Amino acid sequence: MEPIAIVGIDCRFPGAPDTGAYWDLLMRGADGVGQVPRQRWDAKEFYARAGDAGHANTTEGGFIADPDAFDHEFFTVSPREAAAMDPQQRLLLQSAWRAVEDAGIAPRTLAATPTGVFVGIMGNEWAHLHLTDYGNVTPQTGSGNGYCMTANRISYHLDLKGPSLAVDTACSSSLVATHLAVNALLSEECDHALVGGVNVALTPALSIFYTQAGLSAPDGRCKPFSSAADGIGRGEGVGVVVLRRLRDALADGQRVYAVIRGTAVNQDGRSNGLTAPNRWAQQDVLAAAYRRARVEPADVVFTEAHGTGTGLGDMMEVKALGHHHASRADTPMALGSVKGNIGHTEGAAGIAGLIKVALSLHHRVVPASRFAAKENRQLALRDHGLRLLKAPLRLPPGPTVAGLSSFGMGGTNAHAVLESAPAPAARPRPAHRATPSGIGAAVFTLTAPNTEALRRNLLTQADAAAARRVPLGPLARSGNRVKAGHRHRFATTATDTAELVAALRESAADPALLARLTGSPTARPRIAFLFGGQGSQYPRMTAALYEQSPLYRHFLDEADAALLPHTGRSVRDLLLAGDEAVHRTRWTQPALFAVGYALGRTLTELGAHPAMLLGHSVGEFAAAVLARALPLDGAARLVAARGALMQELPTGGGMLAVRVAQEDLAARIEREPLIGLAAVNGPTSTVLSGDLDALERIGAEIAAEGVTTRRLQVSHAFHSPLMRPVLARFATIATEVGGGVPEIPVYSTVRGRVLDGEAMGASYWVEHIGATVLFGDAATALLADGPTHLVEIGARPVLCGMVRRLDGRAPGTGPAPVLPVRGPESGGRELAEALAELYRGGVEPDWDAVYAPEERVPHALPPYTFSTEHRFWSRNPVRAPGAVAAPADEPVAPVFVPRQQPRTARALDLPGSAADPVADAVLDAVRLVGGYTDAEVGPHDRLYEDLGFDSVMIMELKNRLEDRLTGIGTLTVQDLLPRLSSVGDLITFLRELGAAAPDFASLGDMEEIGGMAETGDMEEIGDMAEIGGMAENRALRQEERTA
C-alpha cells in the first residue's frame, strides 16, 4: 500500500500533560498510575480486596490531570453547553487543535477541506450519568453525549468536511480508527485525516467489571509480559494524530514523525468465548498487516504489543507473534508495551501505542518496557524470536520497521506496520522560492482570541525557545504560518533567539508593551506607499539594509542594472561607498529612484501590496513603475536623463520654503518671471524656486512680515522656469519611453488628485519637470480615500509626517505611519518592524520572503496552550442505598464551576445601564441561555462568534425574551435573525419594537439558579455552589454509612 505519514501529534496521558512529557515519561521508565482521584469516585467506597460483588479489587489506576478544564471561550462554546459535554469531547477537541498545529498547519486553513476525523472510543460513562437523569435532559445534554459527537464536534469546530465518525471495537478502537483513516486517505476520500482516541473514567463500572471477570490487577497496574503480571489496570488518555499520504507530506516539505506502511483488521469470529483472546486470529491479522506493508516478519525491529499484562492475554500474544518470528532466534524482535507506564487506556490504547511507536521512530530510540526486568519466563520469549525491551533500544541509522498491535475484547484485532520517516522527510529541504529572500531579521507572530490567551501563549513559546537551542528563523516562520487566524495579532522582531525570548516574556509581563505589539484589525487594510523626493537622500542611504537583506539587495541590484546603461556608473556602488556625489542631482535622482523602487518592490514581495501610490516630485517615477505605468527600464532611462539634463543647467538657482499660503504669494510670483511656485505641501507650506537674486528679494519681503522662511540645500531651482532649457531634450527621450495608465491608483503631485484613466506618458513627465508639486492636494485626496497605513518608501521619514500634519488628527488616530527605513543605521530590523506593524494592522505577509532559504524548514512549536480557568464536571457517581444505581432525589446535572468569580462588571459594560431594564432583561436572557456568568456577557458580544449561539439557543432565547419583556408581542425568528449580530443590536431592535420590562424581581428564575451558575449576582452563585457542595457531602457521608 502507499505509505501514510504521521505529521502531527498531540496527547495527554497519566503523568504526561503533553507529547513531550509523554515521551519523557516513557524514556524515564516512569509510572503514571496512582490513586483514583476523589473527583472521579470514592475509591474506598467501591473497594474490596477480595473483589466482592459490586466492588473493585484496586483503588488505583492511570488518571489524567485536569479532565474538567475546558477552554470553552476558545471554541465559542457556551458554558452551559460545555457543562453538558462529555469531557471526552472537550479533551478531543483541544487535542485535535493542538495536533493540527503540531503538523505545522494553522487549523483554520483546514476549514472547508475534506479532512476526515476518525475517533476510537469505548467509554460512554458521561452518558450513563446524565442521560438517565431524565428531568435534566436538555438539547445540550443530547449533543454533549454519544460517540458520534466526539468526532463530529471536531469536524464542526474546525469546519472539516471529510468523513467524520467514531469507532467502538473496545480496546482496539483507536487503532481500528487509524485503519479506517488510512484507507480513507488511500482511496482519496480525504487529504488529511485526524485520528483520535480518548478514554476518561468517570465511574468505577469497568473496574468492577474487570475485577468480577478476574482481569483486574490488585495494584491497578498492567505489567506486560512480566512474571508479576496479574491483570489490567485502567488508564485514561487522549491522543490525536494527523495523517497524510506520504507523497503529499513530502511535496509540502512537512516534518514526518513516522510512516504507516500497512494496517489490517480482523475478528476472532466464533472463538473460544466472546471475550477470550484468540491467537489464530491475532497471527492472521499480523500476517495481513505484514503482507499489506510488504515486509517480511524478520524486517520488524520492534513491536509495541497490546500487552495488557493478563496471563492469558500475554501468552496468546506471544504465541501469535512467535508464529511469525520464531525463526529469528538469533536476532529476536524487541517487544514492549506502554500499558506498563500508563495502564490500559481502553479506547485510547491504540493511539497511545501509535504515538509511542511514532515517537520512537522519530527519536530513533525505543523506550524500555516497564516491568520488563522481571520477565515472565513461562512465556519463553526467546523461543518465539522475541526479547523484552529491558532497556531503551537505540535504533541504527537508516530505515527501521516497527509493529503495533491492539486487540479488542470482543475479538476485533488490529495491527499496524510502521517505518521511520524517509531521510529527507525527517529533515525536509528548505521550501523553494524563485526570488532571493530574507530581510535580515525575523518577525515573530502569534495570534489569540483574547489578550489573556495571547499572554499565556507567549509564555509557552518563550519557555520552549529558552529550553534548548532553537534556530530563530525557522521558529519565527513557524509562528507566522501556524499561529495565525485569531483576532488579536501579536508581532515582534528579533535577530536572535535569546532576544526573542526576552521580548516575549517582557510582552507577557507588561500590558502596555503587549498592547503596543498587538493589533486587532477590524477592516481590510488599505496601504498607501509614499515615495520621497529630492532632499531625503544621503550618502550610504539604505546601505545597511542592502548588506543585511538579500531581498532588498536583489531589487536594488535590479534597479542599478536598469540604470547602469544610462548613468554609466553604478548608483548602487556610489551609495554603498558613501559618496557625497549623491547630493548632485545627476546622482540624487537615479539614487532616489533606485531606493524607492527597491524598497517598494521589497515590500510588495513581502506581501504588502499598496492600494494607493503617491510620489513627491521625482518620487513619482518609482511609483509609476509599481503602478505598472512605466517599465523599470523605461523609468530608469527617464530618471537618469532627467537628472543628467538638470545637472547640466547652470547653477545659480535655489529654493525657498515659506510658511505662507500659496494664494498669498501669487502677486509676488507674478512680479518675478524667474520664480516659480515649486511645491504646495500644505495650506501654509509652500516652496518657491528660481533665480537666487529674485528669491533673495521675495525672501526678504516675506521675512520682513515676520514669516519664517528657509533656504533649501539644492543645487538647482527645480520646478521653476529655470528648468525650461531641458524640456525639449527630455521630451524626445520621454516620447521614446512612453508610459501607460497606472493599474494602481496614483495620487499625482502634478495634478493634485488621483489620476483618472490618464496615462503617465511623455507629456505627463515633461509637464512634471516644471509643474508645481501639488503634494498637499494629492495627499488630501489620498487621505479622503481612506488609507489604513501610510508607508514611507524612502531613506528617511519625511512624507508620513507631512501627510499627518495635513490630516490634523490626534496622534494614534487616522492611518498608521509605517517606516521601513528610519535613518542611516536602519537595516533588516527596521524593515522587519515595518512588516510587523503592517501585520498587526491586518496585512497578510508572504512570510517565505522574510526568511533566507536555509531558514525555510519546518520547526515544531509547542501547540496552543488552552485556558484551564473554566472547569466543568458532574457530581461524583455514588452508590445508592440498595442496588439502585442513581438516587432519584439527587439530580446529577452537570455544573459549570467558575474558578474565579470577579465582581460583576455590568455597569462598565453597559452605557447607562443603571436604569435600563430592557437591556438587563436581554442580557440576563442571553446569559441564561448560554450559561454565562454576569461579567462574561456585554452588549458588544456577538451572539454567534463570541457567545457560541446556535439555532436551538436562538429559539430558547426568543422564548425567554417573550417571557421577560412586554410590548413585543410574539417575536418571529425571521424578524429576530437579522438583528442578532450582537447583544447590543438585539437590545436596540427590541427597544424599537417597544419592549418594556415588567418588575424584574417578579421574574425570579429560581429553579435555574440551583442548577446553573447563570444569574447576575456572583455572590449568590458562590453561596449556591457552596450549598450544593454541602448537600453533596452530606449525601456522601450518608452513603458511606449505608455502604
Binding positions for another protein, rule: CB under 8 A: 27, 362-365, 392, 394, 397, 423, 426-427, 468-469, 471, 854
Whole-number Å distance between alpha carbons of 582 and 562? 18
> Min. distance of Cβ 421 from another protein in angstroms?
9
Q: DSSP string of 45-112?
A: GGB-TT--TT-BS-SEEE--S-TTB--TTTTT--HHHHHHS-HHHHHHHHHHHHHHHHTT--GGGGTT
CB 428 to another protein: min, Å: 10
Shortest separation between residue 424's beta carbon and another protein, angstroms: 9
Q: Give the nearer residue to another protein in terms of CB position, either 580 or 854.
A: 854
Cα distance between residue 923 and residue 937, in whole Å: 7
Taking the complex as a whole, how short is the minimal distance between the CB of residue 24 and another protein, in angstroms? Answer: 10
Nearer to another protein, 358 or 990 (CB): 358
Cβ nearer to another protein, comparing 363 with 374: 363
Closest CA to 347 of 474, 201, 144: 201
Give the E-state strand segments of 421-541 in sequence order. Answer: 442-448, 488-494, 518-519, 527-531
| CA 368/CA 366 separation, integer angstroms | 7
Which of residues 27 and 892 has its CB atom nearest to another protein in the complex? 27
**Structure-block grid coordinates of residue 1013:** 451558575
Q: CA 598 from chain center: how many Å? A: 32
For residues 36 and 257, the answer to whether their CB atoms sit within 8 Å is no
Compute the distance between CA of residue 356 and CA of residue 304 in angstroms, rounded to an integer: 8
Give which of 76, 143, 204, 313 is closest to 885, Cα–Cα. 204
90, β-bridge pairs:
none
- Give the 3-state secondary structure of 813-842: CCCEEECCCCCCCCCHHHHHHHHHHHHHCC
Residue 363 or 822 having the CB closest to another protein: 363
Nearest-angstrom CA–CA distance, 199 and 95: 13
- Measured from the CB atom, the residue of 1 and 470 that comes closer to another protein is 470
Three-class secondary structure of residue 537 per DSSP? coil
Residue (180 or 857) nearer to another protein, CB: 857
Contact 285, 414 (CB under 8 A): yes
Strands (DSSP E) along 300-425, which ranges?
A: 300-304, 333-336, 365-366, 386-388, 393-394, 401-407, 412-420
CB 775 within 8 A of CB 681: yes
CB of 249 to another protein, least distance (A): 17
What's the CA gap between 278 and 982, in Å, rounded?
60
Residue 127's nearest CA partner among 177, 94, 89 is 89
| Comparison of 332 and 471: residue with beta carbon closer to another protein | 471
What residues contact 18, with CB distance under 8 A and at least 6 apart? 10, 11, 12, 98, 862, 863
Question: CA 126 to CA 122: how far, in whole Å?
Answer: 12
Minimum distance from residue 834 beta carbon to another protein (Å): 26
CB of 470 to another protein, least distance (A): 8
Q: How far is the CB of 27 from another protein (least distance, A)?
A: 7
- If the CB atoms of residues 23 and 529 are measured against another protein, the closer one turns out to be 23
Q: Do residues 942 and 981 make contact, with C-beta atoms less than 8 angstroms apart? A: yes
Q: Which is nearer to another protein, 34 or 430 (CB)?
A: 430
259 or 660: whose CB is closer to another protein? 259
Q: Which of 11, 55, 171, 566 is catalytic?
A: 171
306 tagged catalytic = yes
- Please, what is the minimum distance in Å from the beta carbon of residue 402 to another protein? 16
Active site residue 940: no
DSSP helix/strand/coil, 868: coil
Rounded to a whole number of angstroms, the minimum distance from the CB of residue 544 to another protein is 16
Catalytic residue among 179, 192, 306, 616: 306
Contact 774, 802 (CB under 8 A): no
How many Å apart are CA 274 and CA 267, to the nearest integer? 11
User: What is the rounded (10 degree) CA torsion for 807, 811, 813, 814?
Assistant: 30
**CB of 54 or CB of 422, closer to another protein:** 422
**Do residues 592 and 536 lie in contact, with contact meaning Cβ atoms separated by under 8 Å?**
yes
Q: Rounded to an integer, what is the distance from CA 359 to the centroid of its chain?
A: 24
3-state secondary structure of 324: helix
Residue among 344, 488, 768, 789 flagged as catalytic: 344
Least distance CB 499 / another protein (angstroms) = 13
To another protein, the closest distance from the beta carbon of 128 in angstroms equals 43
Max CA separation in the chain (angstroms) = 117
What's the closest the beta carbon of residue 398 comes to another protein, in angstroms?
9
Is 171 designated active site? yes
Report the alpha-carbon distance of residue 608 to residue 793 in Å, rounded.
12
Measure the CA–CA gap between 755 and 794, rounded to whole angstroms.
22
Helix (H) or strand (E) holding 250: helix 246-251
Q: Do 117 and 193 touch, CB atoms closer than 8 A?
A: yes
Nearer to another protein, 179 or 362 (CB): 362
β-bridge mates for residue 996, sequence order = 966
Q: What is the set of active-site residues?
A: 171, 306, 344
